[in-house]
Amino acid sequence: MRALDAVAAERAGDAVLSVRDLTVRFRLRGGRTVAAVTDADFDLAAGECLALVGESGCGKSVLASALLGLLPANAETSGTALLAPPEGTKDADAVDLLAADERTLARTVRGRRVGLVPQSPAAHLTPVRTVRSQLEETVRALTGTSRRARGKAAEDAAARAAFPAGHLDRYPHELSGGLAQRAATALALIGDARLLLADEPTTGLDRDLVDRTVDELRRHADDGRGLLLITHDLAAAERIADRVAVMYAGRIVEIAPAHRFFGSAGPRHPYARGLLDALPDRGFTPIPGMPPELSALPEGCAFAPRCPAATELCATRPAFTAGVACHHPERPRA
């Protein structure tokens, strides 16, 4: 974990990804609407890891799917998500991921400019092909190297993801959940995409493998690429993140440097502070109540019914100011 003061100052001009007002709505039968993501704003710099954290169902994975054009047909998106052009190319090669058509995303973005470590690896692995053949095919598609070079590149990718060489000739159904996750991570690392989206990349892994996996993802960022780590594992986020974005009920409610968020000062939003206080090594104090239904969000602060600091002012929606969206932000701890 690094203090990113210098990078933060340069982020606006060195952003691999710039997201503005990203909103996702799902239209359901009967005219109901689910507000999965609302007005998400953030930049991701080259060489930076931004960890997006929050309870299950808060919209983290929907945000990642929107960036790759992988939402279902009943989804409506708005806003912009500008992907910087590849190094050495013209500014005209920048792509708005939300406006790009499927042909552009499939041929020039997914795998090549944006890599994905999926939340459900089984859905992304071909069941009738071995892991080795899928790795080699991905190498061929992204790099066009010779057959011999493809084999070496595939084995190197497997080693980077801590996938055992003795399992390369197995089929996906022969893998445990943890091994399938590592196979999916190896596939995502092959293209050395300038932006990597890692959606719960440590699912099914023991602590040692969690550390090894996120350290490899950190190295990916340290080579000058952007890493968006979507996770509920706050220990993994603390290990490698430069900044932390906290999501609640479809909204980003706080963005803070990781050294401050996990350090003695702590987060400023009451929900973010509650996430940390619920950890076994912090206080093991659960946040009372349940998150609201995304189809029936309140007009004001969505966290107010669970917040000990809520007042009548919280019936109005707080603006995102100085890195936090809260009428009563916490003071930094001593």
pLDDT in tens, 162-193: 999 999 999 999 999 999 999 999 999 998 89
What does the pLDDT read at residue 7? Answer: 42
Instruction: Tell me which H or E stretch contains 151.
Output: helix 147-160
Whole-number Å distance between alpha carbons of 258 and 262: 6
- For the full predicted model, state whether its pTM sits above 0.75: yes
Query: Count of CB atoms within 10 A of residue 30's CB?
Result: 5
User: Rounded CA gap, 183 and 36, in Å?
Assistant: 29
Task: Tell me the β-bridge partners of 199.
Answer: 230
- pLDDT tier, 90 (very low <50, low <70, confident <90, very high otherwise): confident
Confidence of residue 13 (pLDDT cuts 50, 70, 90): low
Which residue, among 70, 120, 123, has the nearest Cα to 97 in the 3D structure? 70
More confident residue, 65 or 88: 65
Calpha distance 280→282 (Å, rounded) = 6
pLDDT tens digits, one per residue of 146-161: 888 899 999 999 999 9
Is CATH 3.40.605.10 the right assignment for the domain spanning 5-103+194-325?
no
Domain boundaries, the chain: 5-103+194-325, 114-192
Q: What is the pLDDT of residues 224-260, one digit of tens each?
A: 999 999 999 999 999 999 999 999 999 999 999 999 9
